[in-house]
């Protein structure tokens, strides 16, 4: 069946060929017909690509690839993609498209007692909005500071510089003050490093997470600008988001390609690329390499955040979500690979100019994009131009991802509470973003970077791994992998092959369990090179983790206690999709069946 055909979907059959839900399927199709859809298929693809391709593709993958064996790392990376990440990615796209629901309402159609997964996702998305938008605010601040004749992180003679500041040979070799240490001294710092820490963050005015200091208002205003951009991209749903992603999803590729061409022409670029790609085959025997490959694939593709469910729920029923999964996941991985060339060509240039080894100039995380790469940019001719397009790229990369996370929560809540929230989406989105902005204010203080680190580690981290594990088990073992394969067959006209069913049933849950267990086993309390977090802050971090995870058992207990009937009837109602309850009336309490018949014309959220 082609995607253009609008034939009615065939009835859902059991393994014995019995129609499982003749009336429910019709009601579901009627409900789906009223749901808004993407104006163009390409807008959906751009939205998914924009969500999956984020800052982690630039600041995490290249360094992890280099650290874990260079070109040899691509072997475990691709294996984890094929057997772990891709099946989960495909599964979420298909779930959202078939059931046409967000992360809350979806579970009533799969396993009602697990609707707590949806609430857990909403809490995680709030944490992500707080820290991720702050990182975008840093990028906005850098962009504004780049609009001058000379980049402010080029030289050491600024009010924020310390005696340890030393300029690179490309920009001069004089210290900021009368210290006599050489440029190679381990105690020296670069102008770019000091600009980020002492001019942008101003961490010197904070004593740690115990004493964050005052709000830095330029950062607070930058954060407000980010939330304004996010609001006017999300307020109208896919109608507005679908237009914005033409810029936010495509512009980073233009910049990456320009930076790639510039990077490979720099002196020492190919030395950096050799470091990036030279295979170290012995590293494949290191379990840590496989853990890093699995973790990178999982967090890069982004199942579990509710975004793939939300975005695909606005597709047409017979859209080819299998092809979409193949296209978007491939583009995501190729983007990570291309980003490695962009980053390591510049690191090779820095190492050549500064007469250092790659290990001495490279790092991962925010430091790579906020002081390592800017330092390299400051050495180039036309540095202001390169800085402007680089930070514009970071902003657009990040906006797509924050769109996705917030849209997951907005779609989930609007679907679950259509009368209270769905009909007033513009107002709801406004109040939600104001709430997130107020919660994020501590990240704009002088010690805000400590809060950002805490949110990044304990906000999603282990929580989202466990959530997707439960989601995978629920779909494949409670709802049934064969039943899910039948749903895909109704949409696409062909049943998923044995490979996908085996992955959904066994490989994907084991893949998630592997990452989750390894994350727990290798866990270490949060600390940085210069700061050890106090014990109370670690406990606070685990409380954030628990705040989302607790939603799952809490809702199971709530639904079991709130459901009328015997223990057997309660258990049956809790784990059975709503559309199947009518098939076994002996196990459904009369109170529920009468309630369903009364509300069939206008169903409301539980």
In the chain, the number of structural domains is: 2
336 among the known binding-site residues? no
Give me the chain's average pLDDT, please. 86
Does 21 map to a domain? no
Residues 201 and 224 in one domain: yes
448 among the known binding-site residues? no
397 among the known binding-site residues? yes
Ramachandran quadrant class, 280 (left: phi over 0; alpha: psi -120 to 50; beta: rest): beta
| 463, 117 contact by CB (below 8 A) | no
Alpha carbon 87 to chain centroid distance?
A: 17
Does 58 map to a domain? yes
Residues 298 and 413 in one domain: yes
φ, ψ of residue 315 to 5 degrees: the values are: -80, 160
- By C-alpha distance, which of 187, 185, 155 is closest to 170? 155
| 384, 148 contact by CB (below 8 A) | yes
601 among the known binding-site residues? no
Does 126 map to a domain? yes
pLDDT of amino acid 48: 94
For the cut 90, the answer to whether the pLDDT of residue 387 exceeds it is: yes
For the cut 80, the answer to whether the pLDDT of residue 579 exceeds it is: no
Residues 456 and 580 in one domain: no
Does 380 map to a domain? yes
**CA gyration radius, the chain:** 25
Cβ count near 520 (within 10 Å): 11
For the cut 60, the answer to whether the pLDDT of residue 9 exceeds it is: no
Residues 555 and 602 in one domain: no
Q: What is the pLDDT of residues 115-136, one digit of tens each?
A: 999 999 999 999 999 999 999 9
pLDDT of amino acid 583: 60
| 445, 203 contact by CB (below 8 A) | no
Identity of the highest mean pLDDT range in 56-65, 351-360, 383-392: 383-392
**Distance separating alpha carbons of residues 475 and 431, to the nearest angstrom:** 33
Mean pLDDT of 278-300: 89
For the cut 70, the answer to whether the pLDDT of residue 4 exceeds it is: no
**Distance separating alpha carbons of residues 114 and 366, to the nearest angstrom:** 35
φ, ψ of residue 550 to 5 degrees: the values are: -65, -20
Residues 134 and 41 in one domain: yes
Residues 114 and 254 in one domain: yes
Residues 588 and 452 in one domain: no
**Distance separating alpha carbons of residues 456 and 291, to the nearest angstrom:** 19
Residues 294 and 441 in one domain: yes
State pTM to two decimals: 0.87
Alpha-helical (H) ranges within 441-478 are 448-458, 461-473
| 467, 117 contact by CB (below 8 A) | yes
562 among the known binding-site residues? no
| 397, 186 contact by CB (below 8 A) | no
What DSSP element (H or E) covers 185? none
pLDDT of amino acid 593: 56
Q: Which residue has the higher pLDDT, 193 or 354?
A: 193
For the cut 50, the answer to whether the pLDDT of residue 603 exceeds it is: no
Residues 399 and 531 in one domain: yes
pLDDT of amino acid 601: 46
Residues 231 and 328 in one domain: yes
Residues 468 and 550 in one domain: yes
pLDDT of amino acid 587: 63
For the cut 60, the answer to whether the pLDDT of residue 395 exceeds it is: yes
Q: What is the pLDDT of residues 195-237, one digit of tens each?
A: 999 999 999 999 889 999 999 999 999 999 999 999 999 988 8
Does 296 map to a domain? yes
CATH number at residue 305: 1.20.1740
Residues 505 and 376 in one domain: yes
| 406, 234 contact by CB (below 8 A) | yes
Which range has the worst mean pLDDT, 28-37, 197-206, 304-313? 28-37
Does 172 map to a domain? no
53 among the known binding-site residues? yes
| 90, 271 contact by CB (below 8 A) | no
For the cut 80, the answer to whether the pLDDT of residue 8 exceeds it is: no
Mean pLDDT of 32-49: 86
pLDDT band at 590 (very low <50, low <70, confident <90, very high): low
* DSSP state letters, 319-373: --HHHHHHHHHHHHHHHHHHHHHHHHHHHHHHHHHHT--HHHH---THHIIIIIH
- Can you give the residue range of the structural domain that contains 567? 563-606
pLDDT band at 469 (very low <50, low <70, confident <90, very high): very high
Does 521 map to a domain? yes
φ, ψ of residue 19 to 5 degrees: the values are: -70, 120
Q: Label residue 218 exposed, middle or buried (CB < 10 Å: 0-12, 13-18, 19+).
A: middle
For the cut 60, the answer to whether the pLDDT of residue 3 exceeds it is: no
| 142, 165 contact by CB (below 8 A) | no
Q: What is the pLDDT of residues 486-517, one digit of tens each?
A: 999 999 999 999 999 999 999 988 888 888 88
Instruction: Tell me the three state secondary structure of residue 19.
Output: strand
Does 4 map to a domain? no
Q: Which residue has the higher pLDDT, 21 or 340?
A: 340
433 among the known binding-site residues? no
Q: Which residue has the higher pLDDT, 579 or 145?
A: 145
Alpha carbon 414 to chain centroid distance?
A: 21
Q: Domain ends where: 546, 562, 578? A: 562
Mean pLDDT of 464-488: 91
Provide the Cα torsion 353, 357, 363, 367; round to 10°: -30
């Amino acid at each position: 069946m082609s995607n253009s055909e609008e034939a009615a979907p065939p009835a859902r059959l059991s393994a014995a060929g019995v129609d499982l839900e003749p009336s429910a399927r019709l009601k579901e199709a009627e409900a789906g017909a009223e749901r808004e859809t993407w104006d163009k298929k390409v807008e959906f693809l751009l939205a998914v690509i924009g969500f999956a391709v984020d800052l982690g593709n630039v600041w995490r993958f290249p360094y992890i690839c280099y650290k874990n064996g260079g070109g040899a790392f691509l072997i475990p990376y691709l294996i984890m993609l094929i057997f772990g990440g891709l099946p989960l990615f495909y599964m979420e796209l298909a779930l959202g498209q078939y059931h046409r629901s967000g992360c809350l309402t979806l579970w009533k159609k799969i396993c009602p007692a697990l609707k707590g997964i949806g609430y857990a996702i909403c809490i995680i998305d709030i944490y992500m909005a707080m820290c991720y938008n702050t990182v975008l605010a840093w990028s906005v601040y850098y962009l504004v500071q780049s609009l001058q004749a000379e980049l402010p992180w080029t030289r050491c003679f600024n009010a924020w510089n310390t005696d340890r500041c030393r300029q690179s040979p490309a920009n001069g070799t004089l210290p900021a003050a009368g210290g006599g240490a050489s440029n190679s001294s381990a105690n020296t710092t670069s102008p770019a490093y000091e600009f980020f820490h002492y001019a942008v963050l101003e961490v010197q005015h904070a004593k740690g997470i115990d004493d964050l200091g005052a709000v830095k208002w330029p950062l607070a205003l930058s954060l407000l600008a980010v939330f304004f951009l996010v609001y006017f991209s999300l307020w109208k749903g896919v109608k507005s988001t679908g237009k914005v992603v033409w810029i936010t999803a495509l512009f980073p590729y233009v910049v990456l390609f320009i930076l790639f061409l510039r990077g490979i022409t720099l002196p020492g670029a190919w030395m950096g690329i050799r470091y990036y790609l030279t295979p170290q085959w012995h590293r494949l025997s290191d379990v840590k390499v496989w853990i890093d490959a699995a973790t990178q694939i999982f967090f890069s593709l982004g199942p579990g955040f509710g975004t793939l469910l939300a975005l695909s729920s606005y597709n047409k029923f017979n859209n080819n979500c299998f092809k979409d999964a193949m296209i978007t996941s491939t583009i995501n991985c190729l983007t990570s690979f291309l980003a490695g060339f962009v980053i390591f060509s510049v690191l090779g240039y820095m190492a050549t100019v500064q007469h250092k080894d790659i290990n001495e100039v490279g790092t991962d995380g925010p430091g790579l994009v906020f002081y390592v790469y800017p330092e390299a940019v400051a050495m180039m001719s036309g540095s202001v131009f390169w800085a402007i397009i680089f930070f514009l790229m970071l902003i657009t990369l990040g906006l797509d991802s924050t769109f996705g996370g917030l849209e997951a929560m907005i779609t989930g809540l609007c679907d679950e509470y259509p009368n209270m929230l769905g009909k007033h989406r513009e107002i709801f989105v406004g109040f939600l973003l104001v709430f997130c902005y107020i919660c994020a204010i501590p990240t704009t203080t002088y010690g805000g970077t400590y809060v950002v680190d805490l949110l990044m580690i304990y906000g999603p981290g282990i929580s989202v791994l466990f959530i997707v594990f439960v989601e995978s088990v629920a779909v494949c073992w409670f709802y049934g992998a064969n039943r899910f394969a039948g749903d895909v067959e109704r949409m696409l006209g062909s049943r998923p092959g044995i490979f996908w069913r085996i992955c959904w049933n066994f490989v994907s849950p084991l893949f998630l369990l592997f990452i989750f267990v390894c994350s727990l086993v290798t866990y270490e309390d949060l600390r940085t090179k210069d700061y050890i977090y106090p014990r109370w802050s670690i406990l606070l971090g685990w409380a954030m983790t628990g705040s989302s995870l607790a939603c799952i058992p809490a809702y199971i207990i709530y639904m079991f206690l709130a459901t009328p009937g015997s223990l057997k009837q309660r258990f049956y109602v809790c784990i059975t999709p709503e559309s199947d309850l009518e098939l076994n009336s002996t196990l459904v309490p009369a109170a529920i069946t009468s309630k369903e018949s009364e509300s069939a014309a206008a169903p409301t959220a539980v």
